[in-house]
Every structure is written in structure tokens, then in C-alpha cells.
Structure 1
């Protein structure tokens, strides 16, 4: 149980692929101009990462070390193809918006890195959990960045939710500013870099605060000295 908690904590926070490892920045920066696009791509990546981790772990003893990377890429590509076809069939409008970034999950550094660094060395259940947590960690970053950019850029949240949730999604869209408001910088690539920098800075600040609290708990005299 402790090992599983460590895997979840690493994926969601300590080794978050979007804020710590800085992997998969191309889709993170390109697709995060609103919440719906970010959520859809994040969930698709999570599904591929989790299933590819489990698949790689299940065949890790059967694949010769010399050809493991091509085999892993074929497994990932097959799963991405399934996701690509499913989105084209059931979420066609959103599929057109995401475009090339769905097939590019095959070459996403997060997916291949977890297959090589974790799934190839651990059991199926652990690899499945690791892939899911890494994917969810990326999804959280994508959604947070998408919300930040969409709110600052257009004054809305969940615009276009009908593309993901159907007709019920119309009721989810929030217009928080007067019609016609637009802050173009937040919607362009520089806004993505600035937004990601703010999220990284916030995480670093929270980690630093947690370390100070842990140090103070271990040595109360330090806390007393800082208070005086």
C-alpha cells in the first residue's frame, strides 16, 4: 500500500510530468488555450499511458533487450490508433480541433519515458497505476493552464464543452466577463509559457513552504527563531 501511495504521489505531485519533469511540453503549450481541449487531450494521454504501461509490463520478460524500444513504440502506436479512431467516431468536432496532437501521443516523451523507466521494470498493476497517475498529473496541469489562459484570454470557462459532453455541455459554459472581452496575449504561445511559469512557481513555493514546516516540526527551535 505504501508503494502504491508513493507511485500516486510521484505522478500527481513530486515527479509531475508537466511541472517537474517538463515532458510533453509541445501539447501542453499548444492545446492549453481552453479547458475543454486541455481536458480531452489529457484524458486521451492518460488512457494511452496507463494501458501502454500495463502492456509493456506484461511482455517485459518476453522482449529481448536489444529491440525493446521498437516493440514499446509499436505497442504505444497501436493504442494511440485506437484512441484516435474512437475520438474521430464519437467526438468528431473535438477530434478536428485537437488535430495532429492525438496521433502525436505516440511520440510523447511521457508515454515512452514511463514505459522505459518504470513499466519495463515493474509488475502490471504497478505500471498501470504509474501510467494513470502520470497521465492524470499531466491532465491536472493541462486543465489548470487551460483555465488560466481561457479565463484571462476570453473571460470564459468550459467554452465549447458541448464538443466533449454533448448538448448538456452548453449549460456548463461560464461567461465571466462582458461579451467582446479578449486578452490576446493569454491565448497566444507566449501566454502558454507565462502561464506554465506561474504554475511551476506556485508548486515550488508550496514545496518550499512544506519543507520549512517539516524542518520546524523536526527542530522547534528553528520555528521559534523565525517567529522572533
Structure 2
């Protein structure tokens, strides 16, 4: 099997094989914590860190771990990085850590992380494995933030509220209120709104993919038009 190029890895992580929109993995935290942008961003950054660290570590030890203990070793590596992420959040973003609660330790059981460790990192060199973890984590992060922004805007009429929980007191001024006297839509803040929002994002991606595929087919089936002109040289004698 031919190894993937860096461009392929980037496209897969961000779009073609996005863990949330295509693989549909990690839905428990995705649907639970995306009521606001700050919650989604906090969990997304933690997941990104764990994915990059675990992919790199798994790739480094791939030739030294026997098949019988491969998966337990991967889980231990992932759990170690999750513990690091948890301790960092407790130290620097304690209030956000309390809001996210159990969903930080549950990163250990995120199928997207274990799946990338087993399917890619254990079969590739550290460089591609690290890039794959970064792109898969970034793709998951972008979906989290997009869904969080959608739910926060429709549900509460704000964007980037409580960003001081992640970036400090100066970020309290980042909040955007596009609507005056917005009536809160509780439906979008609750779990049914998360399901509906994710469904809309998946539908949008599928529509874009279909449009691009039809466009490529149209270009491929279009016969090339070649036009040539013959130059006629007229010669004459002037008497």
C-alpha cells in the first residue's frame, strides 16, 4: 500500500475523513459540551493535544511492542496524555475544567484517538503520525467550535461568551451580541439541539461533496474543444 503524502493526510483530517463528520466518532463529548464556543474550544484543544502526543508516542514504540499487548499499550499511552491535559486544565483553566467535568477523562475512551493510533500511527514513521494526529485533532476541533458557535448563537444570541475561562480576564470583552433582546432558544442548548446541529453540518458537508463530485464529472466528460486556423498565403505578381 502506497504511503500517504502530507497533502493527503491534511485533506483526510480536515475534510475527506474528518473524525466527526465522516467517521462519526467521539460523538459523546461532541454533543455534550458544544453548548458554547468556549466549552467546545477547551475540549477540542485537549483532544488535539492527546491525539498528537499519542500518535507520536505510538509511532516511536511501534517496532518494540508485541501484538499481544499492542492495544493495552496504546490505551496506557493515551491515558497518560489525557492525565497531562487534565492536570494542565486544573492548573490554568480550573473553572472550565469544572464545567467540562467527566468529559476530559473520557477522552481516553474516544474511539477517534485509539483508532488513529491503531490504524495509522502504529504503521507509520513519527513525522507522518504526528501530522495525522494534528490534522485529525484540528478537524475534530473545527467541528466542535462550529457546532458550539451555532448552538450558542441560536440558543443564547451570543458568540464567544465566557472566553475568560480559557484565555484570562482580558477575553471577557470578546463576547459578541448580534441581536438586541434575543429570546433564548432552550432547544438548541439542550441535547436535541446538538443532534440537529450536527445533522445540519453533516448534511452541508455531503452537499458540498456532491456538488464538487458533479463538477469534476462535468469537467472530465467535457470534450476538449480544439480550434485551428489555416493560414493562407496569397502571393501575386504586381505588374
Which residue is equivalent to 2:12?
Answer: 10
Report if the CA contact (8 A) 2:86-2:104 is conserved.
yes
Which residue is equivalent to 1:111?
Answer: 113
Which residue among 199, 217, 222 is the counterpart of 1:220? 222
Shift in Å at residue 149 of structure 1?
A: 0.5
Structure 1: state its 5+ residue gaps.
222-228
Which residue among 138, 145, 155 is the counterpart of 2:147? 145
Which residue is equivalent to 1:197?
Answer: 199
Distance in 2, Cα, partners of 1:101 & 1:39: 13
Q: 1:84-103 alignment to 2 at 5 Å?
A: 84-103=86-105
Which residue among 28, 31, 51 is the counterpart of 1:29? 31
Distance in 2, Cα, partners of 1:220 & 1:168: 56
Which residue is equivalent to 1:226?
Answer: none
The TM-score, its normalising length taken from structure 2, stands at 0.90
Q: Does 1:52 align with 2:54?
A: yes
Q: 1:121-200 alignment to 2 at 5 Å?
A: 121-179=123-181, 181-200=183-202
- Which digits, 9 at most, give the CA deviation of each residue in 1:79-111, with x for residues without a partner? 110110010011111111111111111111111
Distance in 1, Cα, partners of 2:204 & 2:20: 13
Aligned residue pairs, count: 221
Point out the structure with max Rg over C-alpha.
2
Distance in 2, Cα, partners of 1:180 & 1:141: 25
Distance in 2, Cα, partners of 1:73 & 1:154: 38
Shift in Å at residue 178 of structure 1?
A: 2.6
CA RMSD of aligned residues (A): 1.2
SS of 2:184's equivalent in the other structure is coil
Report if the CA contact (8 A) 2:157-2:182 is conserved.
no
Distance in 1, Cα, partners of 2:118 & 2:34: 27
SS of 1:198's equivalent in the other structure is helix
Shift in Å at residue 55 of structure 1?
A: 0.2
Structure 2: state its 5+ residue gaps.
224-239
